[in-house]
Amino acid sequence: MAAVTAHFQIGYGHPNQGGLRPLSTVRLEEGGRAALTFKGQKGPTWPNDLRPPVIIPAPEFVLEDALLLIAYTLRLHPEIDAMLDEIYREKLADHSSRQVETTSAIGPGDRNRLYRWLSDQTVCQWPKVGLCVYRGSALVRQAHRLGDYVPDYEVLLPAYGREFSAWTGGYTQWGDRPTDSEALP
């Protein structure tokens, strides 16, 4: 059974108070296979005949595949747009599925080129990206790479929590929960 294990909030930060005013969201659901879905505002030149697909990311590049989906959907880089328009149109032509598996749809050379374009700050004008990662997500081990691509970002990693397990009938707790008098960093 899949569960949301991370989500990206894409928008703009407040100039004085920080935080994020989200316009769009990308969810990462993990279970048997990971899946990335885009929800929210479409880019200004979004093609009418092509909705954002559900992306089945490469396990070692979940972060980069999520950023490609964001850049493509918000139309941030013309070369990314052109390459992915062609790939997605071909993969989604029969309309039987909204899913695109990146490992089979994009060859290694094109993948490396796309990832390089993601980090091109002269062309890719990124909004602020917030990444919230839950315990157990594949993104826990990849979140540190976000700063290689996006200049304005925040990453929220699990600090503490408690979960009930129906299998064991008990709770699992991790981290140190602060008291009211302790300040969070």
pLDDT tens-digit map of 103-138:
888 899 999 999 988 888 777 788 999 999 998 898
> If you average pLDDT over residues 14-19, what whole number do you get?
81
pLDDT of 46 above 50: no
In a 13 Å sphere around the CA of 97, the CA atoms on its Cβ side amount to 9
The answer to whether 129 and 10 are in contact (CB under 8 A) is yes
pLDDT band at 39; cut points 50, 70, 90 = confident
